[in-house]
Structure 1
């Protein structure tokens, strides 16, 4: 009996060992190159200078410029965690780690955060710009001062900050005038949080040839409208533990972002393996690719940008809420979900995103006045237009970006619905630079068709509906709402903040400054030789750099697949 028990125990241990071995992670390999069509595959870099305050900066500079904080990618689903890291600018509080700072501590009276700079972080040598040197607290102070004094900054963005000072080489102190719930996002891991050295600013930060940061890669080539090329930084500080072994990052020698404006061209590039990874694929194209290229690996995610047709509330006829509500009822949104998107969309997922647990409320929890904006009711739409003084309808211009294939296809469909209630749309396609300029200069047409990032639960209402905000295409302005937003930011209790945000979200939905449209699902696809990846997209505000630094290429598999 004892021998039998020993044999059974030995067999069980052998099976366990086999199971563990089967689940052990692959050993990463160094070298190779990666060709990527990113989430913004159709858009070239807008600027490399953080002082320009452009939204896309982290996407193009996040491989060489780092920030105070970043996503803790060990909490990702591929490592057994609960976070997919898809969001454009949302890091859950349990998934943030120090990047350029290794620790931080809150203090009261005065209200401040004391941060310790991570030791041994180096700026590599940049000939003609700067010598190789260590990051110090003074670099953080300089970067903040340069951003906060930029004439292009978002008004009020850093108003909560009293001062930022380096008390010694490795200590930086942020003293606040008052609490702001976004303190870490706004100058920690957000859109405008890049740590740029003084030498780069002095040399000219707008010139890509001068840029230099502490990140895993260095920008070594840039061709406007074509490509960004990044080469491995040998002085990079971070490491990754895989299977109990610690590895120096990054693994891949060269990463290239490809800018491809034509949808058919970037889909062909993926199918023929000229792209190793394509992050933004429409559902209809995904179906075709799965049939033609079954070797690809996939992830599916609900777009982190809401789609809408903005109506300028400061111009007639959109200053009348009846008109705005009428146009919402005139569009058959449920039919768009089923017929246009083939069911690959959610009827209601903006301005809050369903991933924002504790902040998002589903449509069935909304008041009847909001629910009816998502019901197709052309008869009531005509009645409201007549009451507002437009019994025969009207016409208006709508600007749309030619860079977005989905929008170029959808806007004519929306226009066709509106025409059924007497409202005619003049479609004005624009190149992205002109389209963006119309937004930032507040010269948008009465109609502006776009999608806008959800960003995060505390930002989505502020950036789109507070008076004079940059990303406010409807020119919405309500002093009472502005005050509610300001009060929300100063509320320290997250539960109370959530209640305040839900109330404001309902208010905005009901006022209908937009024609609220469905939010589509997006697909990401990559070839099997791309390892250490599971579809993650951002490790901060539109910043994929830390994700790409942990990916590696299985060159042997690539050769076996004939590529």
Structure 2
């Protein structure tokens, strides 16, 4: 729908001609789907390529043992000899349980622990053998509404009542263990185009009760028990979805809303959620940005008019127009103003409730040198080495 033609001008130049103006296109080319791969390897066996990829990185693929590990080794003919690669081999192990992953780190069986439980971070900081790479996350964790279903689709006062009923600071303090900040918008404050004028939803039980009554459900009367879909896995933007769900249910009970947690294995959760089933009222989700462009959050996650594949099926003409304007405007300062307007509109209409931006922390053994966290969550190891 976007690309009209692609031409290789010479060995180092490629020209993309687009069918229409698409301001995020260059940022999108920095995403994983646009990796440069070997055409020879791909054409030899396209179906098998995903299990035996050949790219242009500092390490080359050795093997993949499903649900166990991926092994890479240094590519001696890597084109950029400056600053690496320094390690002979890299192994990515699949360890589903956060706590087990952290114990493996403490035992010295792995060198870096992704996505630890927030409660394990203080222990990591006290361990003389570990250090904790840290940076603000380019992410958002949020609570969404089923906009295919009433009363959520049409009742803005009801959505706003929930926004003021949930004590997000308590969630950040107690479940994120303070390793994050309460979200006011659905893009992180480190991103260009962030609207600092949006006040966010204050925790105010009395205001929530008032809005609930104005929504037609005084003290929750007339509103059946609702379902709150809670994530079964830890993600950078939500460390413990089930605990977050329990906290939210407790907050909703204070204004008279009865809710229960629903959860599935992660694959089923994602598959069913995108269908907007009638047995789903609220759902937890979130996002770690792919490319540093606001479009990658605001359009991809929340413009339901753009596609049925958007997980928040909010249909708002004004918002949809802003997203189109953002794509079709090249000047970044003008784009920033467009996205600031869209964040104000989201605050006013409450299509979702922003919960938190987490601080990303991946504990590592002190022998790991020059490792830096990447905003997208990518693992870059070209210039990393292990001290012996």
Q: How would you bin the TM-score normalised by the shorter chain?
A: 0.7 to 0.9
Which residue in the other structure is 2:314 paired with?
Answer: 476
Deviations 1:48-94 (A, max 9, x none): xxxxxxxxxxxxxxxxxxxxxxxxxxxxxxxxxxxxxxxxxxxxxxx
1:286/1:417 Cα in 2 relative to 1: closer, same or farther (>3 Å)?
same
Which residue in the other structure is 2:37 paired with?
Answer: 196
Which residue in the other structure is 2:212 paired with?
Answer: 385
Q: Structure 1 residue 309 and structure 2 residue 136: aligned?
A: no
For normalisation by structure 2, the TM-score amounts to: 0.88
**57, 61, 75: which is aligned to 1:233?**
75
- After superposition, residues 89-488 of structure 1 pair within 5 angstroms as 158-159=1-2, 161-186=3-28, 188-198=29-39, 199-200=41-42, 203-205=45-47, 208-241=50-83, 249-291=84-126, 293-319=127-153, 320-348=155-183, 350-356=185-191, 358-362=192-196, 365-366=197-198, 370-371=199-200, 373=201, 375-391=202-218, 392=221, 393-404=223-234, 405-443=239-277, 445-455=280-290, 456=292, 457-466=294-303, 467-469=305-307, 472-488=310-326
**Residue 201 of structure 1: CA displacement?**
5.0
**Residue 311 of structure 1: CA displacement?**
0.5
Q: State the distance in 1 between where 2:96 and 2:13 align.
A: 45
Kept in 2, the 8 Å contact 1:333–1:376? The answer is yes
Kept in 2, the 8 Å contact 1:353–1:454? The answer is no
Unaligned runs of 5+ residues in structure 1 are 1-157, 242-248, 556-563
**Residue 471 of structure 1: CA displacement?**
6.3
Q: State the distance in 2 between where 1:453 and 1:284 align.
A: 21
Kept in 1, the 8 Å contact 2:368–2:384? The answer is yes
For normalisation by structure 1, the TM-score amounts to: 0.62
Which residue in the other structure is 1:504 paired with?
Answer: 342
Deviations 1:203-248 (A, max 9, x none): 134664432222222222222222221122233212215xxxxxxx
Deviations 1:241-268 (A, max 9, x none): 5xxxxxxx42211111122121221110
Kept in 2, the 8 Å contact 1:209–1:220? The answer is no
Kept in 2, the 8 Å contact 1:350–1:454? The answer is no
Q: State the distance in 2 between where 1:389 and 1:550 align.
A: 59
Structure 1 segments of 4+ aligned residues over 6 angstroms from their partners: none
Which residue in the other structure is 1:529 paired with?
Answer: 367
Secondary structure of 1:210 counterpart: coil
Deviations 1:326-358 (A, max 9, x none): 1111112233333444433212254121212x4
Kept in 2, the 8 Å contact 1:463–1:469? The answer is no
**Residue 197 of structure 1: CA displacement?**
3.6
**Residue 429 of structure 1: CA displacement?**
1.8
Choose 253-262 or 454-463, whichever is displaced more: 454-463
Equivalent pairs counted in the alignment come to: 375
Q: State the distance in 2 between where 1:451 and 1:180 align.
A: 25
**Residue 274 of structure 1: CA displacement?**
0.9
Q: State the distance in 1 between where 2:32 and 2:170 align.
A: 35
Q: State the distance in 2 between where 1:204 and 1:266 align.
A: 34
Which residue in the other structure is 1:552 paired with?
Answer: 385
Secondary structure of 1:255 counterpart: strand
Which residue in the other structure is 1:45 paired with?
Answer: none
Unaligned runs of 5+ residues in structure 2 are none
Larger-Rg structure: 1
Choose 206-215 or 520-529, whichever is displaced more: 206-215
Q: State the distance in 2 between where 1:474 and 1:290 align.
A: 38
Q: State the distance in 2 between where 1:302 and 1:342 align.
A: 14
Q: State the distance in 1 between where 2:377 and 2:152 align.
A: 33
1:287/1:470 Cα in 2 relative to 1: closer, same or farther (>3 Å)?
farther
1:439/1:265 Cα in 2 relative to 1: closer, same or farther (>3 Å)?
same
CA RMSD of aligned residues (A): 2.4
